[in-house]
């Protein structure tokens, strides 16, 4: 730090260098008691006393200092907390006191975050946010696995084991969707048997669109291979599709209630 000249001093509120005869800091706009008389150049009789009457615009500046410190941490939640702090809290505080206050807020936020993570771990797959959304890793993984599995069950069959394949798929469908599935398969059953069709669907990736304790929507990406005929006369076609699977659950396993092909 550079040595101060005789006619300079440090502002007790923002630590910036100002004139020793100044009655107001040009940086933070705080009123200060001059240490040197502006006309005579002699020391004043109240060098150790200061008075602080911030101007109206000083409060926003104090709050912005807290926001800047929070932004440096890279945590959006901490920035919002800093922005929401009452302006009156910072009036009359020194820079050191303000920084101490900010650090205290960050410590509280960190403790709250650890507490939340612990609570989620204790709750496991049953962790549900206040709005109803699933937030536990186990629960969300279960949704992803169910969406991929049910997509494969519903869209896979072999002409040689068609009846069994349909029963496996129907076991994890809601009554309404099972009715739609039966209607569709009734139309393709004869053609599947006649042309010896094998449809194999493999889920390669999935992502949750939304999920609550009883309903979820999952985006599933699949590779589909359709083989018609056997031996040298077999004709094979491969496609990549994306689906939106809607799952519902009462008290048991997830069941498919809707399927939309996106292409």
pTM of this prediction exceeds 0.75: no
Phi, psi dihedrals of residue 241, rounded to the nearest 5°: -135, 160
Burial tier of 115 (Cβ tally within 10 Å: 0-12, 13-18, 19+) = exposed
Residues 48-60 as b or e (16 or more Cβ within 10 Å = b): eeeeeebeeebbe
Tokens of 255: 């069941």
Domain total in the chain: 2
d(CA 84, CA 93): 18
Average pLDDT of the chain is: 75
Q: Is residue 121 part of a domain?
A: no
Task: Give the DSSP H or E segment for 108.
Answer: helix 95-123
Determine contact, residues 26/11, Cβ cutoff 8 Å. no
Q: Is residue 28 part of a domain?
A: no
Phi, psi dihedrals of residue 195, rounded to the nearest 5°: -100, 10
Q: DSSP labels for 220-235?
A: EEEEEEEEES-GGG-E
Domain that holds residue 233: 137-261
pLDDT in tens, 183-233: 999 888 889 998 999 999 999 999 999 988 889 999 999 999 999 988 888
Q: Are residues 144 and 254 in the same domain?
A: yes
Q: Is residue 5 part of a domain?
A: no
Q: Are residues 177 and 86 in the same domain?
A: no
Q: Is residue 113 part of a domain?
A: no
Region 133-147 average pLDDT: 85
- Where among 68, 86, 107 does a domain terminate? 107
**30-34, 35-39, 147-151: which is most confident:** 147-151
The CATH code of the domain that includes 193 is 3.10.450.230
Contacts 24+ apart (CB under 8 A), 5-11: 7/36, 7/41, 9/35
Region 12-22 average pLDDT: 84
């Amino acid at each position: 730090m550079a040595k101060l000249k005789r006619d300079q001093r440090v502002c007790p509120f923002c630590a910036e260098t100002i004139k020793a005869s100044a009655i107001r800091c040009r940086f933070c706009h705080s009123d200060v008691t001059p240490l040197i008389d502006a006309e005579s150049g002699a020391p004043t009789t109240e060098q150790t006393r200061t008075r602080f009457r911030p101007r109206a615009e000083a409060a926003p500046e104090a709050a912005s200092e807290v926001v800047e410190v929070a932004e440096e941490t890279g945590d959006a939640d901490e920035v919002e907390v800093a922005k929401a702090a009452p302006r009156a809290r910072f009036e009359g505080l020194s820079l050191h006191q303000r920084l101490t206050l900010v650090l205290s807020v960050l410590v509280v936020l960190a403790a709250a975050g650890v507490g939340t993570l612990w609570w989620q771990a204790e709750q496991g797959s049953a962790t549900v946010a206040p709005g109803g959304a699933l937030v536990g890793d186990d629960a969300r993984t279960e949704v992803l696995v169910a969406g991929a599995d049910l997509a494969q069950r519903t869209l896979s069959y072999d002409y040689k084991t068609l009846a069994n394949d349909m029963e496996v798929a129907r076991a994890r469908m809601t009554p309404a969707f099972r009715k739609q599935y039966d209607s569709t398969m009734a139309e393709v059953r004869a053609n599947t048997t006649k042309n010896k069709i094998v449809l194999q669907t493999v889920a390669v990736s999935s992502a949750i669109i939304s999920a609550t304790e009883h309903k979820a929507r999952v985006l599933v990406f699949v590779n589909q291979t359709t083989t018609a005929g056997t031996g040298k006369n077999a004709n094979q076609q491969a496609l990549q599709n994306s689906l939106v699977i809607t799952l519902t659950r009462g008290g048991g396993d997830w069941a498919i209630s809707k399927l939309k092909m996106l292409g």
